[in-house]
A and B are shown apart, each in its own frame.
Chain A
Amino acid sequence: MIRFAELYNDLDSTTKTNEKIAAMVRYFAAADLSDAAWATSFLSGNKLRRLVPTSLLRGWAAEQARIPPWLFEESYQAVGDLAETFSLVVPPGKTTTDESLTHWVEHRLKPLRWMSDEEQHTAVLRIWNETPARLRLVVMKLITGAFRVGVSKRLVTRAIAMHAGIPADVISHRLMGDFVPSAESFASLIDPEIQDTVPSKPYPFCLAHPIDNEKGPEVLGDASEYLAEWKWDGIRGQVIRRSGQTFLWSRGEELMENRWPEIESAAESLPDGTVIDGEILAAIPGGAVLPFAQLQRRIGRKKVGKKLLAEVPVVFHAFDVMEHRGEDVRSLRFVDRRARLDELLRSIDHPHLSATQLIDGESWNAWADIRTTSRQRYAEGLMLKRKDAPYDVGRVRGTWWKWKVAPYTIDAVLIYAQKGHGRRSGLFTDYTFALWDDGQLVPFAKAYSGLDDQEIRKVDQFVRQNTNDSFGPVRSVTPTLVMELAFEGLQRSGRHKSGVATRFPRIVRWRHDKRPQDANTLADLLELLPED
């Protein structure tokens, strides 16, 4: 466990990719198979299901630190990380023995879930007594299910590939889906001999790069080398039909069972040995795409009722094929894969499974014109794909490009601020913005990103000097600062004071040139609402 904590510390204290990979390779080389398996699982973002309610942990920590609960909360606000607050506030313990990561998971962490409060209390105090701050930080991150350290799954994959001497895309494919950590699973993960034959196993998704709106697509070269599609705003998915079974995976590598019954039943008509990539969209079968807000009504539903099924039908808009007639066709050119996809879907002719439309244009200007109609079609813009490119693994530059329409923007006034977490802990970085409505400022969006470090420090100082009131961790400040916010979409919402909800709001720039009274009004925002 000490070595795993050191790995965490190494990964946490560098921003350099090569150093992160080197640290992981070092760990894999020294760890036994079972520890390596657990490390792989945690580093890839898998969690132990929540083991102990954090409210209990907070209470015990305050008790151990001999401080009242409010002071623990105050401390947490200052640190911005719960597990770290446990590691700092509770007096440091002493390591007596160094058990393996696997031992910790199997014998000390997992059993917590089945214990009574009293037993949990005893077990947690024992853990605290036996862990100095750094080790405790990692243990508590595992216990609270907040283990995240700055490595992507792709980086973990590269480290394992380097350790095993196997190409990264092979590791990546083997890691798709449910990786159950065990000595055996890690052994087969790094085995150069094994053939991969699990029917449910998805392929790693190919991801797109954004095109800079200022620069435009001309930098990509000749338009005749590309095909264009709508960039839909739905849920990315991979449909697998093998051995008479259907699997539908999300981009987050989760199996989406029973949530999209129309698509699952449509997939049954696909021949065995088929894997297709596409987007789940709320759409009228064989017809128009519906707004994202409609799809949202189905997202998160584990089971879908008849009424909803009728009101919000979904269609799988396929745009690529990775496996055709049992063969991995990812290395074929896109135009060739697309031809197979079209032929395949034509042959089954199912209303809930259709090939997404290719957009005629063949010149940047023609596509630019068509792109301006994206919002009316509930698309986010265009996708541009190289005709001759293979289906890449991950975000490889140069094959798929997303060319989104310019976001909505509006000038708003900062009225509330709250301290951030992680790298931004201790600084006021989470802001609430408001718009004018009849002489009042009405809050309408929260934004966390968009300012650089120097600007964040300036706003932080402003907040400290201009606080009028505090509501728990939230400071209300004198309305002074005006910022330009951008967001991707707008929809009516009964839950928001302003009556509208924004999608992905973020700060574009600090409008030093504007006074608060120059900010936009709620009416200006409502004007942007799409008519439905």
Chain B
Amino acid sequence: MDGLVSSPTSLFRPFVSPIDLQLHVSRPAFNHDRSFEAGRVDVSFAPLLRPTSSGLYCDAGDFYVDPTRPVDRAVVTHAHSDHARWGCRRYLAAAASEHLLRMRINDDAEFQFLHYGESISIGGVRVSLHPAGHMLGSAQVRLEHRGKIAVVTGDYKLQRDPTCQAWEPVRCHLLVTETTFGLPIYRWPSPESVRDEINAWWRRCREEGKCCVLYGYAVGKSQSLLAGLDTSLGEIYTHGAVEKGTQAYRDTGVDLPETRYVGSMQGKRDWSGAMVIAVPSAHGSTWMRRFGRVSTAMASGWMAVRGSRRRRAMDRGFVVSDHVDWQSLLVAVDQSDPETVWATHGYTAAVARYLNENGRKADALDSGGRREGDEDAAADAAEPAS
């Protein structure tokens, strides 16, 4: 594999803040009003990559990246159901995602797994996967064809996460980046400070004799939350969907605190002082009744904004995200240093316009995009609350 991909460390440059960038980049005179309309198909990178109604398609290799409907061959960035769609014939994904993917995808599919940095050739396109830091086995897909390199980030974050390998920049000509939280209002607090807040909340609930119910996506978020819990405070229980995901993490070799599956607990018990990790759809359901007096909290990037926090009608909201915030998005673009950026999911138009104004060609792939609740919905559809 040597020579195929330049070592990621060599790509690290000193951090350049976006304002410094502005100083030595002249502003191109773009007409921004119409240039990012959704549905405008950009073929400038075909046959390497082009957007289609079924997702990003590589003509040269005849495969899709994170297709939105069943296709013959899918390269998948990570095991969340809005990226790893059910029903394709062949899947290519990162080795670390094997257990998660097999848990969720049809058995009759054909799987192929690559270690990070390892590459294969599909129809003359060199394909390799690189850590994205979003969750266990999440990858950025790097495609190289006739000297052009495209990177699809999938979902990613730059913050530390003990349950998965950290994001690495990959230099490219075309960067397809997610922009779920692509507005300057999103600025994640340090993972350590949020971890401390969560444990402080648990401690206080324990003193008040309440049971903590912490909601996060079943796979990925739940496990990184688990990894940050102070196990000296009490027992940790899991919702069915969370337990399944946690098991897949353990099977992959990730060390997580001991958990007990709520559904396996027999008879009436005292839940005060316990910590329960559950999926958001369990909130307000009859499943919750068993816990008696509870304090509920949601762990999500959306919790940064009060309106979202209050709409959830939960006692607490912790700002924990597995996506890039505004600053890290800019850092990632800067370090990947592409000629062109395609923004997908969320605030695509704002990010594209900002990048254009700061000297980097950018387009919005979609305008509707992802927003609060979509991931919950996807996760819930895949794993009905038990």
By a CB distance below 8 angstroms, the chain A residues around B353 are: 70-71
A344 contacts the other chain (CB 8 A): no
- B19 adjacent to A66 (CB under 8 Å): yes
B304 contacts the other chain (CB 8 A): yes
A25 contacts the other chain (CB 8 A): no
Q: Mark A52-73, 1 if CB is under 8 A from B, else 0.
A: 0000000000000111101110
> In the complex the two chains form, what is the Cα distance from A424 to B305 in whole Å?
11
Q: Mark A64-84, 1 if CB is under 8 A from B, else 0.
A: 011110111011001111001
> In the complex the two chains form, what is the Cα distance from A84 to B187 in whole Å?
13
By a CB distance below 8 angstroms, the chain B residues around A84 are: 305-306
Minimum distance in angstroms from A253 CB to a CB of chain B: 28
- A13 adjacent to B305 (CB under 8 Å): no
Enumerate A1-49 residues with CB–CB distance to B below 8 Å: 12-15
By a CB distance below 8 angstroms, the chain A residues around B315 are: 13-14
- B308 adjacent to A68 (CB under 8 Å): no
Minimum distance in angstroms from A457 CB to a CB of chain B: 7
**Overall SS of chain A's interface:** helix
- A71 adjacent to B184 (CB under 8 Å): yes
Q: Mark B179-200, 1 if CB is under 8 A from A, else 0.
A: 0000111110000000000000
> In the complex the two chains form, what is the Cα distance from A353 to B22 in whole Å?
70
> In the complex the two chains form, what is the Cα distance from A360 to B375 in whole Å?
62
Please tell me which one of the listed residues B185, B307, B316 contacts residue A75 in the complex, with CB atoms under 8 A apart.
Answer: B185
Given contacts A68-B357, A88-B185, A89-B185, contact A74 B304 (CB under 8 A): no
A426 contacts the other chain (CB 8 A): yes
- B187 adjacent to A464 (CB under 8 Å): no
B368 contacts the other chain (CB 8 A): yes
Chain B interface residue number, banded: 20 to 34
- A88 adjacent to B187 (CB under 8 Å): yes
> In the complex the two chains form, what is the Cα distance from A453 to B373 in whole Å?
13
Minimum distance in angstroms from B264 CB to a CB of chain A: 33
Minimum distance in angstroms from B352 CB to a CB of chain A: 12
Nearest opposing residue in chain B for A66, CB measure: B19
- B304 adjacent to A422 (CB under 8 Å): no
A144 contacts the other chain (CB 8 A): no
Chain A interface residue number, banded: 20 to 34
Given contacts A68-B357, A85-B185, A89-B185, contact A79 B310 (CB under 8 A): no
- A74 adjacent to B368 (CB under 8 Å): no
> In the complex the two chains form, what is the Cα distance from A80 to B304 in whole Å?
13
A465 contacts the other chain (CB 8 A): yes
By a CB distance below 8 angstroms, the chain A residues around B229 are: none
- B185 adjacent to A453 (CB under 8 Å): no
B234 contacts the other chain (CB 8 A): no
- B305 adjacent to A68 (CB under 8 Å): no
Q: Mark A89-113, 1 if CB is under 8 A from B, else 0.
A: 1011000000000000000000000
- A88 adjacent to B368 (CB under 8 Å): no
Nearest opposing residue in chain B for A15, CB measure: B313
A495 contacts the other chain (CB 8 A): no
Enumerate A243-261 residues with CB–CB distance to B below 8 Å: none
A491 contacts the other chain (CB 8 A): no
A423 contacts the other chain (CB 8 A): yes
Minimum distance in angstroms from A522 CB to a CB of chain B: 33
A129 contacts the other chain (CB 8 A): no
Please tell me which one of the listed residues B185, B187, B306, B354 contacts residue A12 in the complex, with CB atoms under 8 A apart.
Answer: B306
Minimum distance in angstroms from B74 CB to a CB of chain A: 25
- B350 adjacent to A71 (CB under 8 Å): yes
A425 contacts the other chain (CB 8 A): yes
> In the complex the two chains form, what is the Cα distance from A66 to B184 in whole Å?
9
> In the complex the two chains form, what is the Cα distance from A451 to B55 in whole Å?
35
B309 contacts the other chain (CB 8 A): yes
Nearest opposing residue in chain A for B307, CB measure: A425
Given contacts A13-B315, A457-B373, A465-B368, contact A75 B184 (CB under 8 A): yes
> In the complex the two chains form, what is the Cα distance from A13 to B296 in whole Å?
12
B372 contacts the other chain (CB 8 A): yes
Minimum distance in angstroms from B141 CB to a CB of chain A: 27
B123 contacts the other chain (CB 8 A): no
> In the complex the two chains form, what is the Cα distance from A391 to B184 in whole Å?
53
Nearest opposing residue in chain A for B17, CB measure: A66
- B305 adjacent to A88 (CB under 8 Å): yes
By a CB distance below 8 angstroms, the chain A residues around B184 are: 65, 67, 71-72, 75, 88-89
B18 contacts the other chain (CB 8 A): yes
Minimum distance in angstroms from A520 CB to a CB of chain B: 31
B24 contacts the other chain (CB 8 A): no
Max count, chain A CB within 10 A of own CB: residue among B22, B184, B310: B184
Given contacts A71-B184, A88-B304, contact A12 B350 (CB under 8 A): no
> In the complex the two chains form, what is the Cα distance from A70 to B350 in whole Å?
9
Minimum distance in angstroms from B24 CB to a CB of chain A: 15
By a CB distance below 8 angstroms, the chain A residues around B309 are: 13
> In the complex the two chains form, what is the Cα distance from A305 to B200 in whole Å?
64
- A78 adjacent to B310 (CB under 8 Å): no
By a CB distance below 8 angstroms, the chain A residues around B307 are: 79-81, 421-426
Q: Mark B291-320, 1 if CB is under 8 A from A, else 0.
A: 000000000000011111111010110000
By a CB distance below 8 angstroms, the chain B residues around A72 are: 184
By a CB distance below 8 angstroms, the chain A residues around B185 are: 75, 78-79, 85, 88-89
Minimum distance in angstroms from A474 CB to a CB of chain B: 15
By a CB distance below 8 angstroms, the chain A residues around B17 are: 66
- B18 adjacent to A423 (CB under 8 Å): no
Nearest opposing residue in chain A for B317, CB measure: A13
Minimum distance in angstroms from B302 CB to a CB of chain A: 9
By a CB distance below 8 angstroms, the chain B residues around A91 are: 187
Minimum distance in angstroms from A192 CB to a CB of chain B: 33
Please tell me which one of the listed residues A74, A81, A421 contacts residue B183 in the complex, with CB atoms under 8 A apart.
Answer: A74
By a CB distance below 8 angstroms, the chain B residues around A79 are: 185, 305, 307
Minimum distance in angstroms from A5 CB to a CB of chain B: 13
- A464 adjacent to B18 (CB under 8 Å): no
Minimum distance in angstroms from B263 CB to a CB of chain A: 28
**Given contacts A13-B310, A88-B185, A425-B307, could you give 5 more A-B pairs where the C-beta distance is less than 8 Å?**
A68-B354, A74-B350, A85-B185, A91-B187, A464-B371
Closest 4 CB pairs of A and B: A425-B307, A88-B185, A66-B19, A75-B185
Q: What is B's interface to A at a CB cutoff of 8 Å?
A: 17-19, 22, 183-187, 304-311, 313, 315-316, 347, 350, 353-354, 357, 367-368, 371-373
**19 A–B pairs (Cβ distance < 8 Å), ordered by A:** A14-B315, A66-B18, A66-B19, A68-B357, A75-B185, A78-B183, A78-B347, A88-B184, A88-B187, A421-B307, A422-B307, A425-B307, A426-B308, A426-B371, A426-B372, A453-B311, A464-B368, A465-B368, A467-B367
